[in-house]
Structure 1
Amino acid sequence: MNLRQLHYFRVLAKDEHITQAAAKLNITQPSLSHAISELEKELGTYLFEKQGRNIRLTKYGRFYLDYVNRALDELEKGEKNLRELINPSSGRVDLSFIYTLGPHFVPKMIEAFSSQEEYKNISFSFSQGNTKNILQNLKDEKCDLAFCSMVENEPDIDFVPIVEQEIVVIVPPNHPLAVYDQIDLCQTAEFPFVYFNKESGIRPIIDSLFMKAGITPTITCEVEEDNTMAGLVSVNYGIAIMPRIHSLKDYNVKVLSIEKPAHQRFIYIASVKNRYLSPATCQFRNFAISYAKENFLSKGNVLHE
């Protein structure tokens, strides 16, 4: 059984006339008769019976036609929706990103992209998470592209740097370190930290900073998300190292730049190597790389989310 036979069956069932149905299908009458005969053999029953010079559906043919109509209608609907989904001017991009990029970076990127006339009808679905979960979703095809940290030993993922994100220390306003605007990380050695958990993409960078400074931090608790970290610091539960996100202004904390050790933290656009991307997804990926190069990387700007 194949789709061609089912299509022939539906046309013939509608016309109940071999000559007319063959003409509509642009095939010969013997070809149509053979296709229907093969379908009947496979199903083990007659779908049509002769009525004078014409034919009509048997009761089994009428029974089967309901299922064929539903199946072919769904396939046609699926084809139509798929074509719309992959249409380069009106497709959809499934984008995932780390929490810190939600308030400003991603909306601004989408705004810049959608303001282009040729992209205005491309739609998006969004999801957020930590880098580890996002990369797993990428591999599982739950998203097409991701803005996240780079992770070592991920040979199937293509990481392209998009923007550098500043890392800072935050402390309560009454903390001994609050008198400074910038510090050497060594100055934090005696204080307990609210720390990112091991699922976070920024955790290895922070671990590396402490190794460079020769410090083993005292960790009071581990969290997944930046705003929770800022909230805990604001109530004096510890100090923290985190990206300079826009919402820090809403918390009762002092933000300190890290003078030493030297460090860099990039946000990447990630995709699975050698996996097909729809035209709309390719267009957004290319736009994001170009936009970041023009507005961030080439100008040495650091993202203050």
Structure 2
Amino acid sequence: MELQQMRYVVAVAETSNFTRAAEQCQVVQSALSHQIARLERELGAKLFERTSRRVRLTSAGEAFLPAARQALDAAERARAEVAAAAGEIRGRLAIGAIPTVVAVDLPAELKQFHLRHREVRISLRSGGSEELIERVQQGTLDVAFLGLPLGVRPKGVHGRELARGDLVAIVAPGHPLADREHVDLHQLSDEPFVDFPPRTAARAQTDEAFAAAGARREVAFEVTTVDFMARLIRQGLGVGMLPAAFVPDVPDLPVLRLRDAPARMEHLIWSRFPPSPAAAAFLSGLGISAA
């Protein structure tokens, strides 16, 4: 069993297509197919079901894929550790972040990190805090920036609180409340809301605040990005809630301070296991020791 064969399996699993997988791996399709067939003979099991229309993992393939990814990650980690012993940081750095990170200027940090460590391959995934926590626990992300309600601490990871602050309400220009400096949640309870999906940390902090205030609201529009939220609010379709520190990113929308504002914390988390050289270097650049 060879690492290259595992790379081919992972590529086919990710693309669901032998041709695209071969292009991604920069080999001819016949060579990729031959190596996968050779691996299947060695394993005594088919890894893929092939039809004229689709390629999908068999049950054996689904069992093999996580182990193959772990083996490839371990091999890359071994190369990175050897390079680090010689004073060179290389390998990969996989970062996760919620869309409303404000405690750190993440694009600027990534630029500086890239300039210092050009041999590191950086990837960034945006998502909800729960998904990002799970990915750090699984090892598919090295670090992640989260937004959580006060008092919530991610489990199964190391972390540090970066900042905390209140949420504010965002309304459309010309909204009847747009000229108000302060409102309370009861004054907003009859408004349709634009918010993140249920069972996300971003949604929970607002839901909990309305429940604590004894107010009810209707979330008419569920979105996953701040940009789409702002576009819907701009059209007068609903009211939204965003961190106060984030509102300069939507300067054309009136901001209402809340007397009973929901609060949230931003966290940076990383794995409980020793970080890769690239992850350790990134944390160090933020003034954090992962030891």
TM-score, length basis structure 2: 0.61
Per the alignment, residue 250 of structure 2 pairs with 248
* 2:138 aligned with 1:155: no
Residues 156-171 of structure 1 aligned to structure 2 (within 5 Å): 156-171=156-171
The offset of 1:238, in angstroms, is 1.0
The offset of 1:78, in angstroms, is 8.9
Contact kept? 1:93, 1:123, Cα under 8 Å:
yes
The offset of 1:154, in angstroms, is 4.5
Contact kept? 2:146, 2:268, Cα under 8 Å:
yes
Residues 100-249 of structure 1 aligned to structure 2 (within 5 Å): 100-101=100-101, 105-111=105-111, 113=113, 124-150=122-148, 152=152, 154-243=154-243, 244-249=246-251
Distance 1:90 1:200, change over 3 A: same
TM-score, length basis structure 1: 0.59
Distance 1:183 1:289, change over 3 A: farther
Aligned residue type for 2:126: Q
* Alpha-carbon distance between aligned partners in 1 of 2:87 and 2:166, rounded to the nearest angstrom: 35
Contact kept? 1:162, 1:288, Cα under 8 Å:
no
* Alpha-carbon distance between aligned partners in 1 of 2:137 and 2:264, rounded to the nearest angstrom: 23
Distance 1:213 1:120, change over 3 A: same
Contact kept? 1:138, 1:144, Cα under 8 Å:
yes
Distance 1:189 1:278, change over 3 A: same
* Alpha-carbon distance between aligned partners in 1 of 2:77 and 2:209, rounded to the nearest angstrom: 51
Segment drifting more, 105-114 vs 132-141: 105-114
CA RMSD in angstroms, aligned pairs only: 3.3
Select the residue among 266, 272, 278 that pairs with 2:276.
278
CA deviation vs aligned residue, 1:241-290 (integer Å, no higher than 9, x gap) = 123344312xx5212222x21543221111232x1212331232243255
DSSP 3-state at the match of 2:110: helix
Query: Which ranges in structure 1 are unaligned for 5 or more consecutive residues?
Result: 1-75, 292-305
Aligned residue type for 2:128: N
The size of the alignment, in residue pairs, is: 210
Contact kept? 2:129, 2:201, Cα under 8 Å:
yes
CA deviation vs aligned residue, 1:13-68 (integer Å, no higher than 9, x gap) = xxxxxxxxxxxxxxxxxxxxxxxxxxxxxxxxxxxxxxxxxxxxxxxxxxxxxxxx
Query: Which ranges in structure 2 are unaligned for 5 or more consecutive residues?
Result: 1-74
Contact kept? 2:172, 2:253, Cα under 8 Å:
yes
The offset of 1:209, in angstroms, is 1.7
CA deviation vs aligned residue, 1:165-221 (integer Å, no higher than 9, x gap) = 552101111111101133222221221211211253222211222123221112212
DSSP 3-state at the match of 2:89: coil
DSSP 3-state at the match of 2:215: coil
CA deviation vs aligned residue, 1:140-164 (integer Å, no higher than 9, x gap) = 2111110112484753122311123
